[in-house]
Chain A
Amino acid sequence: MSDVLGEVVSILIEVVGEDFLLDTEITPDTTFSDDLALESIEMVALAEKLQERYGERVNFVSFIGDMDLDEIMDMTVGKLAGYVEAQTAGTR
């Protein structure tokens, strides 16, 4: 698991708390909505914490700018982690 993926997972646990599926193995292909049952408002909180962790360049609203709602809801952990990695390349 990459550093960023691991960080995304730990922030997920922080956001969702005890409801989070601790027994689910999270891979880059795991989806936030279907696999992790993440609510859309929890995704907002996750995005905020990622920005706090990685800085202004990790801008979720900008990232989802060209996506439709279904695409946002179908997002995988790997896609988000990939975006964070790309935005922070050279700074981590």
Chain B
Amino acid sequence: MSEIRQPLLDVRGLCKIHAQGRWWEHKFLVRALDNVNLVLPANRTLALIGDSGAGKTTLAMCLTGLEQPDAGTILFEGKDITKIDRKKARGFPEIQLIFQNSTDALSPRMSALEIVEEPLLIRGSLARTECQQQALAAMEQVGIPGSCSNRLPHELSGGQRQRLAIARAIVSRPKLLILDEPLSGLDLSIQGQITNLLLDLKDAYQLSFLYISHNLELVCRIADEVAIMRRGKIVDQAAPAAILASSKRSHLPALVPSAPASSSRRGASAGA
């Protein structure tokens, strides 16, 4: 952490315009990001909520340098990272992204261990054996036993694949982890396990999370702050309780209420 209390991530006036339509069609411009401002203090979780097409993933891509923004600055610990030549710098390990669909993001032809050690090998600062050790340690930490290290991604369960993606992200010791829908398609119980793992890692490594999701109820349980994005703009940013309260009144469809009040369930189990 720096001496002066500067935020870990400070996004100012970020814009990204996509042109849609093929060459023979009339092109129209989509403002995927429209003057986005975000501040994320160190060791905090900021949740980003929005419908599909709101620009959440584009923002994640810009932050990790996979897309170049058209305007605006991204200050990471005070440095503007839009100016960094990523190819020369061989990536930017301080910010790691966990993709929306981990199954598609893992190479089907690489074993679990190879997947996790790849980022270390690409950076090339460590010897091969050391990379392997660190990769195994990271896998241990996310709860993938060493016996699975030679398996291919399709031989792992959905929850294990997600753990593998997390291991690949933390192996380069990031400060900021961008999680793009990390729980979509997973069972409720596994969602809980993965979320708890992420929270444990956050405490262990002093990580910050930018948590992209459309599950308002869930993020309100884990985030320190929630930002709502619509059509490329951040339209609201507040504490989880305030967002939840306002969503009940307004436009944002919250989870369909289903679970009966916990008191009645306790009564039920006591009676059984």
A binds B: no
